Chain A
Amino acid sequence: MIAVGSIGLIVSKVRSATIETKKTKRDIATHAALNQYLFTEMPGKDASGHVESISKRLEELLNNLSFELDIKKNSYNNTRRHSLKRVMLKLTTEVTGETRFRLTLAFEYFDFVAEENKAMQDSRWWLRAKGCKNAGLMRNESCLPFLERCLDDDNDDVRIEAAQSMLDIGGVQTLSPILMRLKDMSPWMQVRLSKSIFGFGEHAVVHLVEAMRSPYPKVQGFCVEILGMLGDVKAVPTLLEYIEYAVPYVKHKSLIALGKIGDTRSIPIIQKFLHSPDEQLRIDASKAAGSLSSPLLAYDLHWMLVKDTMNVKLAAGEALARSGELGVKSLQYAINLEDENVRMVALQFLHEAGVPVQASQPQGER
């Protein structure tokens, strides 16, 4: 067994290089044939504006490609067919516009779309996930119902790939239906989806606001966080409305988001949370206040710097350093107080803000 294993290992190592070279050669030949289809000039619209001649020409080119590569549509074990699919999938990330459209047509012509729709129903999770991923690359709307079903899959990778592909195919319109369908979001799913959502920019705001109706805190939290990062003031009324009765997890994220958006309408609510009994909420409110840089919150922040726990002191000190002249004055006052911790925190943030410091004798608190 050992001898067989060892010999097999050595043989496979030697062979793998040869197989790889063959595969590359085949892919190069496929690529050349595919270029014919992708880059052949199309006839213009006819006098009556019909595009039939274009469709006819494309079909002709696809037939030629099929003939040239000797690909039989129904033969799924054809090596050349695999090569064509591989090359086409690789190209999806490299081409745009009309060429991309031609690729989408070709995927359908060669039955690759149907193949992926079938894969999405496979019992093995990695095949379902791959099916979802490829469906997104193929950009074919017939995949959407299958993808939607995969949003309820047990496997996180399948759900992520399905959501991502739905966004790729259906665009921003699919965002709120996807989010409303999800019951949970792993950080990895959040990272993946956020990339596409940022690509939609301000168009995503209304859909994220809509998705905040989701009963699941993870989904709500995600929407809030992305709204904060997008920084669109349109989200402020909804955030202010939700923050009052949201679960603590969403409250934390909402405070940070409000700070990032930086709208003055948030000041009263941030002020309210600066006095919350929850230490983490006070820290988050301080961070939000720091992002808002409003002198209106300086008094509350100063009070926290003097009276609160060390972690809150640090957050308040940082916020004060960013709250303009009043904040800096407050820190300068704090370096003369008796409390060693208050003095240290004030000194740190004055130093970081580049303000020259001249401490006098410590005074009692007023």
Chain B
Amino acid sequence: MEFLSGLINFLLNVYSEFIIGFFIFVNVFYFSMYTISFGAIITYLRRHMFCDYRVITQSELTPAVSILAPGYNESATCVESVNSLLKLNYPTAEVVFINDGSKDNTLDVVIKQFDMVKTERVYIQTIATKAVRGIYVSQNPQYRNLIVVDKYNGGKADALNVGINVSRYPLVCAIDADSILEDDALLKVAKPFLDDESVIAVGGIVRIANGCSIDRGKVTEVRLSRKLLPSFQVIEYYRAYLSGRMGWGAINGLLIISGAFGLFKRDIVLKCGGYKHDTVGEDMELIVRMHRYCRENDIPYRVDFVPDPVCWTEAPETLKILGRQRNRWHRGLLDTLLIHRKMFFNKRYGVLGLVSVPYFVFIELFGPVIEAVGYIAVGIGFYLGIVNLEIFTLFFVVSVIYGVMFSVSAVILEELSFHRYPRTRDLIKLLVLGIVENFGYRQITVWWRIKAFWDYWRGVTTWGTMTRVGFKK
């Protein structure tokens, strides 16, 4: 018994030292990323002073874009979605709506509304996909930029691959059917392709639309949701995009461009083989594969990120749905990192192999496990009476302060740059939530992410139903 107690004591001591080391490492890393992001945002804002987007709209030299909108059982919303995509501010763009074998009358609704007829257009299957049943174009000149593809059901990734095969333009934009895009979204994400010809993919900031007023598919008034869960997610998105992805973009180590909105060079996507359809993290997996392809073939490239809020999405409002979403994200992360494990600490992949992938493995993937084991160890320690209360309290307070500091820093970055929440009370609420989220919310997300390991091991590959409550009109 004494031996067991001594062993536990020893293990707890080792773990507590590991935790302190890990804590210092994580915070130093976050601080570095925040500094890089801050510099990148300032540079972006300075460059922004010399960018008149009207010039892009008026120029014949602007690269044309194919917008890919996959839809499955979207009969209620497809017309509004397609209409808002057709109205996006961009000189040359085509909208490719892909009906992914919907069981409802999505196809009929689109055909009727946009006066579509079946064409004899050749479908070249550069990326292998499920069979295409028909390609439709509109008889109405007003919709000459709309193409509707009807195919057998194969999931979102398969539908996007069909869209990539069908598209005619050098840039392809993948979006979620329920994303709300800003009018100038395409212009803003196309700009990096004009600045630097080696750019192969660009992502932008996705914002949470819960609480905002939406009119005819556009965000007309930005407000913070009255509900707690979506507001917590606003803070999380700030941290992820403004202090995370912006920094990764600056060092060309960005591994994720949200599936809700991303712009890619079509020829590189085709060479990489398009989206992988047997993973739940197909958006991240494609970016990692694009990185890998360019590195392995010595192609100079950049994966860029613009800090402009370009896309709005509806965040889950219940714990159950949020849990499913986080679980899926974590399974996607795990799957992608396993597929590309060759890159882990491999200097051939430069900053990607030596910094990005190890960061995602140690901090993003295993961070929740380390945190959860910490909570358990503290419990055991208290039970055995071996926890030094003063040190524990100090550590806890410091960790909360660091968490709050990064949340506040993210809010400051937002206020310095785009300040999309005009009301002071929203700002105060965000600052308060940055403190509150450390007590309860953070621990729940840790649990969801740990559960993802178990689900992945069991072979769960489903997305889980994402019930949407709809936007305030």
Contacts and interface: CB of A to CB of B under 8 A. Distances in A.
A and B interact: yes
Interface of A: 1-2, 5-6, 9-10, 12-14, 126, 129-130, 133, 156-157, 160-161, 186-188, 190-192, 194-195, 225, 229, 310, 314, 341, 344-345, 347-348, 350-352
A10 B195 contact: no
Nearest to B409: A5
B122 interface: yes
Interface string B114-144: 0000011110100000000000000000000
Q: Tell which of A10, A160, A188 has the most Cβ of chain B within 10 Å.
A: A188
A191 B46 CA distance: 19
Q: Tell which of B121, B122, B195 has the most Cβ of chain A within 10 Å.
A: B122
Contacts of B412: 5, 9
A190 B193 CA distance: 13
A192 B427 contact: no
B424 A14 contact: yes
B46 A186 contact: no
Contacts of A186: 194-197
B49 A130 contact: yes
Which 5 A/B pairs are nearest by Cβ-Cβ distance? A188-B194, A187-B194, A126-B46, A351-B120, A191-B59
Contacts of B47: 157
A229 B60 contact: yes
Nearest to A158: B50
12 contacts: A9-B431, A130-B49, A157-B47, A157-B50, A187-B194, A188-B191, A188-B195, A194-B59, A344-B120, A344-B122, A351-B119, A351-B121
A192 B50 CA distance: 11
Given A157-B50, A225-B61, A9 B122 contact: no
A161 B47 CA distance: 12
Contacts of B59: 191, 194-195
B50 A161 contact: yes
Contacts of A195: 55, 58-59
Contacts of B405: 1-2
Interface residues of B, number: 36
Given A5-B409, A156-B195, 11 more contacts: A13-B427, A126-B49, A130-B50, A187-B61, A187-B195, A191-B55, A195-B58, A225-B61, A229-B60, A310-B124, A351-B120
Contacts of A9: 408, 411-412, 415, 427, 431
Interface string B420-442: 00001001100100000000000
A1 B398 CA distance: 13
Contacts of A344: 120, 122
Contact of B194 (A191, A225, A229, A352): A191
Contact of A191 (B61, B404, B411, B431): B61
B56 interface: yes
Interface string B28-51: 000000000000000000110110
Interface in B374-402: 401
B62 interface: yes
Contacts of A12: 415
A314 B122 contact: yes
A348 B119 contact: yes
Contacts of B196: 186
A187 B59 CA distance: 11
B408 A2 contact: yes
